[in-house]
Structure 1
Amino acid sequence: MATAVRGWFADTAGGLPATFWYLWVGLLINRAGAFAMLFLSLYLTAARGASESLAGVVVGAYGAGGAAGVLLGGVLADRWGRRSTLVAAHLVTAALMVALALSQHLGVIAALALLVGVTHSMPSPAFVAAIVDVVPEERRSRAFNLQFWAFNLGMAVASLLAGLLAEASYVALFLVDAAATLATAVLIAWKVPETLPSLRAYGPTKPAAAGRRPGLHTALTDRHFMIFVGLTFVLAVLTMQASTIMPLTMRADGLGPSAYGTVVALGGVLIVLGQLFVPRLIDRRRKGTVLAVSTALLAVGFGALAVADDLVFYLGACVVWTVGSMLAAPPNAQINADLAPPALRARYQSVFYLAFPAASFVAPTLGGFSLQSWGDGHWLVMGALGLLAAGGHLLAGPPRERRVAALRRTSATPAADEAARAPLPAPN
């Protein structure tokens, strides 16, 4: 038994460098404390007297800032450095949260929400790029799996804490969020070295077009990468169905908010309990095949809602699509890392992350129209879309693997920073 546990732990979390674990703890603290914006609309209507329409505009401003922040964070992380971007973004976010807690004018709150959207999203590409910098290629799958697990565990904690704090004080909600964000900044500044590789270690990066320096346009004109981003966008649209369209279908089936909360809670519990077992399932398997299977599971899970009529059926479907999401997380991040030139890692991450805010707009907008027009047929459309994307992964996988192999042949691997890559010492 002990041998089996040690083997499982080694497959799941063994051999990762100390810097990764400091980044992981920072991400966990950041997500666990990032709960204030979850209650922004309630705060605006209950504490500041805003109308529902105005609250929607302010929340939308936060989302728009997030799209801009992802791109800004990617550019800064590649130019300025991962550590510098992470520390600066968290410090500014903490200050903005304090300002939000103390502001009363709705115009000021809207402007601050926009800025928080920018600074909240900036760390995402820097976090992932830093992980790619310090984790050896053969261990990245487990690192990305742990990153996805920390993100969801942190969000689960955030949801719980947010409800308790909101009952006591909305001001406390923002101040505790600011404190957690500040703690993340301090941890990164204290323990995480700068991981941005020197361009001299790789040699000059060949521009995508004559006379142009490599930049965001390099990622946007990378055919293999953009096909991958497009398929990820479909996966994100499917995933967003759970929080946008499914509640409407459940209400039509006579199921109330508590039933919806039960389905959402089940998905979170499955990820927190099961994500750590994913590496053993997918290691040594083709990433394109894993993504095809995961997308097919999402398609089947959401497609099955066309005939769902009770809570048990919804819970069963939730198990299917949640397993699909769990399988998709590590290879998605790893493919992104494989395709990105070392000097553009964060920029590639920023373009990849744009798929999610785009999906958060498309899923409810077109999904609402689809549900109104076709009723339960909407879920058959979602299932068909997911199956097409699964086929796309099977077709795109082999040429993408050839592209990655070619990149590896033409790129020299820099010497690793020994301090960054050194594993944490074993406990006494």
Structure 2
Amino acid sequence: MPSVAGPRRAVRGAVSGMPREFWWLWTSTLVNRLGAFVATFMALYLTLDRGYSASYAGLVASLHGLGGVISSLAGGVMADRLGRRPTMLIAQVSTALSVAVLGFMENPVAIAGVAFVVGMASNASRPAVQAMMADIVAPKDRVRAFSLNYWAINLGFAVSSTGAGFIAEYSYRIGFLVEAALTLCCAAVVFLKVPESRPEHAPGASAPGHSTAKPAGVRLIDVLRDGRFMGVVGLSFLVALITQQGYVGLPVAMGADGLTSSDFGTAIAVNGLLIVVLQIPLTRFIEQRDPRQLLIVSTLFAGYGFGLTAFAGSVAAYALTVCVWTLGEIVNAPTQSGLVVKLSPAHGRGRYQGVYSMSWSVAALVAPLMSGVVIDQWGASWLWMTCALLGTVTALGYWLLMRNLSEDERPGERVVESGERVVLVEATAAEAPQAPVRAPEFAPERS
């Protein structure tokens, strides 16, 4: 049937041509997200099962998020120094152990402390995963790889949320143990099937008459001084601040309209459903379009999708606004990840990915405060207008930031300041087989 053949071709085109190592990494991500119990039900566990106040539950959630902020940077440094594979294994085993311990904690101080450790451990592997995908996937396929990975994250989360709900009705502790077990399974997949991908060093071209030398490594301060990349990080923070409102501002606004928690569950379920259904078929469309246009349009969809929420009053209307900002999310996430790789030198991908991941972790901390203050002081409509304004500002930021970005700029053609030298980070043959290698200009060494 023609109506079926088209989507089938789109799906086949989206998943074909990826290396075997990518699919094992993809499998480990899916298994990991299938066990996402703590992030989903921590608040309910603390308030309903343990009897703590909502304020205490919020404190624990903040500590969990703070751990993620810290480990974003630490995980990026580890991915470059120790390697992608060791970082993932350390993070995943640590996550499994700390989640299991958390399920048996009784003292409120101990619960808060272990939750902080869980936040650190569970977030530490993200920069390594992103860096490894950039290492093993050809440049032309990277946006597609990030799109497939994002689909796995959301599919796993959708399944785990449903399963965790049934588990929670029987025993929250079993939920913690199930997450720990699945995280160990994820570590086992990485240990058995995923090889190390970190470049030993970025090959350095030598000046005439000089021997080739290993260039100095990228330091964290070098990443923070990379103006254009930090611009992307700032814009990523604004995008995350907008999309987080679907989980912190939206339920409050729907409650103020007299809708129930099940109504919110129905509306927000549209987000996961659309991602699962549309992410893979839309991958080819995303891959073949100008990333500058995609980032601008997707940000406007996100901002104005939440802006339309100011006019919603029923479950159907709220679900329609979720459709709008979800389309922006589907396009923005893999496109932005591809841009981060494009702006990252091969031997510094871990640190670059760590700083990028931090923008989302910080947004997860700021978004609840933002929604609470705005709604309490001025009302939910002002929150949604703020989201529309942020979407407009972010779209303008992408336009300004990327107007001078060459279509064929590759990581190997970036100049990175490191120490007292300015070195050209060359792409490997696998990354840019046809890219000409420009002779680097070395700054004079100081005595």
Change in Cα spacing, 1:113 to 1:377, as seen in structure 2 (3 Å) is: closer
- Number of paired residues? 412
User: In the TM superposition, what is the alpha-carbon distance from 1:112 to its structure 2 partner?
Assistant: 1.6
Q: Does 1:382 align with 2:387?
A: yes
Q: Is the 8 A contact 1:224 1:400 kept in 2?
A: no
Residue 295 of structure 1: aligned partner:
299
**What residue ranges of structure 2 are gaps of 5+ in the alignment?**
206-212, 415-423, 432-447
Residue 210 of structure 1: aligned partner:
none
Change in Cα spacing, 1:88 to 1:199, as seen in structure 2 (3 Å) is: same
Change in Cα spacing, 1:406 to 1:261, as seen in structure 2 (3 Å) is: closer
TM-score of the superposed pair, with normalisation by structure 2: 0.87
Farther off after superposition, 147-156 or 100-109: 100-109
Query: What does 1:213-232 correspond to in 2, within 5 Å?
Result: 214-232=218-236
Change in Cα spacing, 1:380 to 1:172, as seen in structure 2 (3 Å) is: same
Residue 426 of structure 1: aligned partner:
none
Tell me, what secondary structure is at the counterpart of 1:404? Answer: coil
Q: What percentage of aligned pairs have identical amino acids?
A: 37
Q: Residue 283 of structure 1: which of 275, 280, 287 is its match? A: 287
Change in Cα spacing, 1:249 to 1:22, as seen in structure 2 (3 Å) is: same
Write the letter of the residue equivalent to 1:350: G
Change in Cα spacing, 1:51 to 1:254, as seen in structure 2 (3 Å) is: closer
Q: Deviations over 1:218-277 (max 9, x none)?
A: 111111101111111111111011111122222222222222111110111011101012
Query: What does 1:315-394 correspond to in 2, within 5 Å?
Result: 315-375=319-379, 376-394=381-399
Q: Residue 183 of structure 1: which of 185, 196, 200 is its match? A: 185
Residue 120 of structure 2: aligned partner:
118
Change in Cα spacing, 1:85 to 1:296, as seen in structure 2 (3 Å) is: same
Q: Does 1:172 align with 2:177?
A: no
Alignment partners' CA distance in 2, 1:68 and 1:370: 27
Change in Cα spacing, 1:406 to 1:188, as seen in structure 2 (3 Å) is: closer
User: In the TM superposition, what is the alpha-carbon distance from 1:353 to its structure 2 partner?
Assistant: 1.0
Query: What does 1:298-317 correspond to in 2, within 5 Å?
Result: 298-317=302-321
Alignment partners' CA distance in 1, 2:270 and 2:89: 34
Q: Return the structure number with greater relative CO, CA threshold 8 A, min gap 6.
A: 1
Q: Does 1:262 align with 2:276?
A: no
Q: Does 1:413 align with 2:427?
A: yes
Q: Does 1:90 align with 2:92?
A: yes
Change in Cα spacing, 1:379 to 1:158, as seen in structure 2 (3 Å) is: same
Alignment partners' CA distance in 1, 2:234 and 2:199: 28
Q: Deviations over 1:34-81 (max 9, x none)?
A: 213422233233444434333332222211111111111111011000
Farther off after superposition, 401-410 or 334-343: 401-410
Q: Is the 8 A contact 1:250 1:256 kept in 2?
A: yes
Write the letter of the residue equivalent to 2:397: G
Q: Residue 109 of structure 2: which of 100, 107, 110 is its match? A: 107
Alignment partners' CA distance in 1, 2:39 and 2:284: 35
Change in Cα spacing, 1:406 to 1:239, as seen in structure 2 (3 Å) is: closer
Change in Cα spacing, 1:51 to 1:253, as seen in structure 2 (3 Å) is: closer
User: In the TM superposition, what is the alpha-carbon distance from 1:24 to its structure 2 partner?
Assistant: 0.2
Q: Residue 19 of structure 1: which of 18, 21, 28 is its match? A: 21
Tell me, what secondary structure is at the counterpart of 1:269? Answer: helix
Write the letter of the residue equivalent to 2:169: E
Residue 275 of structure 2: aligned partner:
271
Alignment partners' CA distance in 1, 2:160 and 2:58: 22
Q: Does 1:198 align with 2:200?
A: yes
Farther off after superposition, 265-274 or 63-72: 63-72
Tell me, what secondary structure is at the counterpart of 2:280? Answer: helix
User: In the TM superposition, what is the alpha-carbon distance from 1:407 to its structure 2 partner?
Assistant: 4.7
Residue 7 of structure 1: aligned partner:
9
Alignment partners' CA distance in 2, 1:5 and 1:241: 32
Q: Does 1:57 align with 2:59?
A: yes
Change in Cα spacing, 1:249 to 1:47, as seen in structure 2 (3 Å) is: closer
Write the letter of the residue equivalent to 1:304: L
Q: Is the 8 A contact 1:288 1:396 kept in 2?
A: no
Write the letter of the residue equivalent to 1:72: A
Q: Deviations over 1:80-133 (max 9, x none)?
A: 000111111111211222222333333322222111111100110011100000
Residue 419 of structure 2: aligned partner:
none
Residue 425 of structure 1: aligned partner:
none
Tell me, what secondary structure is at the counterpart of 2:17? Answer: coil
User: In the TM superposition, what is the alpha-carbon distance from 1:310 to its structure 2 partner?
Assistant: 2.0
Alignment partners' CA distance in 2, 1:205 and 1:349: 22
User: In the TM superposition, what is the alpha-carbon distance from 1:415 to its structure 2 partner?
Assistant: 4.7
Residue 129 of structure 2: aligned partner:
127
Alignment partners' CA distance in 1, 2:35 and 2:397: 37
Farther off after superposition, 401-410 or 27-36: 401-410
Alignment partners' CA distance in 2, 1:267 and 1:56: 24
Residue 152 of structure 1: aligned partner:
154
Residue 33 of structure 2: aligned partner:
31
Alignment partners' CA distance in 1, 2:49 and 2:402: 51
Q: Is the 8 A contact 1:74 1:126 kept in 2?
A: yes
Alignment partners' CA distance in 2, 1:145 and 1:116: 26
User: In the TM superposition, what is the alpha-carbon distance from 1:4 to its structure 2 partner?
Assistant: 4.2
Alignment partners' CA distance in 2, 1:282 and 1:226: 24
User: In the TM superposition, what is the alpha-carbon distance from 1:383 to its structure 2 partner?
Assistant: 0.8
Write the letter of the residue equivalent to 1:129: A
Residue 145 of structure 2: aligned partner:
143
Change in Cα spacing, 1:411 to 1:102, as seen in structure 2 (3 Å) is: same
